[in-house]
Structure 1
Amino acid sequence: MFKHLLVPVDGSELSLRAMDSSIELARQLGARITAFVAEPDVPLAAVSSNPTTFVKQVEAHQAKSDAHARNVLGAFEERAKAAGITFVGETLTTVAVDNAIVETAERCDCDLILMVTHGRGAFGELLFGSHTKNVMSRTKRAVLVLH
């Protein structure tokens, strides 16, 4: 069965559900968890064209992103360790979240990707896209989707 779960999380209410569900599944399967946080790159439209200001804005964005990832992964790790689950946290700054999830699953040799979906429907997907659908279409690994 599945022995290594990749669980992308972002700190939202839905990702808390992914944490709890993946921990319970890992406990039942005797599996380990790799949690993954994809942090957004600095939006170029939001930064100054002044080189000194630009560097400061990029550094501030990176520091904020790093702190967010540490907080999310730290909370997940506490829950996993309390349940006796082997846990590793991974983070990456990227604009291509879907690709980053697929590549992390391959690099870490995960055999199941557990994701949550907002279930926005066709109109919501048109406006916001669907990371879950994109991951499902790009990976050969099993994907478990929670709604």
Structure 2
Amino acid sequence: MYEHLLVPVDGSELSNKAVAHSIGLAKMLGASITGFTGEPPLPVLVVEQAAVAYDVATFQEHEKRCEAHAREILEAFAAKAKEAGVHFDGQFMITENVQQGIVDTARKQGCDLIVMATHGRHGLDALIHGSLAKSVLAHSQVPLLILHG
């Protein structure tokens, strides 16, 4: 039924739940997994109505930190998938819009199911913090399996 799962992860305890469930599901279905992690770019600093520019070294250092963090997360996921005999590929991007990165990666990689964990926020908490899973659900043509945290 499903052959290629996309699993967005950030290294949190909640995303580790998606890792465990997706590996079990992929093993049962004979599917492969693409792990995805997205990191935000450096924020634009505004001081008294003037944008503060970063130097090239600052951008490069930020990218190195993001890549190292993503590599750590995706390598841990890959090790667990390998141990279970599940084919794994990792994808990383720096993006202002992680939701769109997830949707685009699912499409580009030919994934037929997205597996995500969510906090299940409601009311004011959802309004303040938003819901990445809800946003992905609203914008993706790929089915979504949501695991409640």
Fold conserved between structures, TM > 0.5: yes
In structure 1, how many angstroms separate the alpha carbons of the residues matched to 2:106 and 2:41? 21
Q: 1:21-100 counterparts in 2 under 5 A?
A: 21-45=21-45, 49=52, 54-100=55-101
Counterpart secondary structure, 2:45: helix
Q: CA RMSD in A?
A: 1.4
Pairs aligned (count) = 144
* More helix, by proportion: 1
Give me the identity figure in percent. 45
* Deviation, structure 1 residue 49: 3.6
Q: 1:11-22 counterparts in 2 under 5 A?
A: 11-22=11-22
Any gaps of 5 or more consecutive residues in structure 1? Answer: none
1:135 pairs with 2:139: no
* Deviation, structure 1 residue 39: 1.0
In structure 2, how many angstroms separate the alpha carbons of the residues matched to 1:110 and 1:28? 17
Any gaps of 5 or more consecutive residues in structure 2? Answer: none
* Deviation, structure 1 residue 116: 0.6
In structure 2, how many angstroms separate the alpha carbons of the residues matched to 1:54 and 1:130? 33
8 Å contact from structure 2 (residues 106, 112) kept in 1: yes
1:8-49 CA distance string (max 9 Å, x none) = 000111111111110000011110000000111111229x94
Name segments (4+ residues, structure 1) moved above 4 Å: none
Counterpart secondary structure, 1:63: helix
In structure 2, how many angstroms separate the alpha carbons of the residues matched to 1:55 and 1:49? 13
In structure 2, how many angstroms separate the alpha carbons of the residues matched to 1:54 and 1:14? 35
TM-score after normalising by structure 2: 0.92
- The amino acid that maps onto 1:25 is L
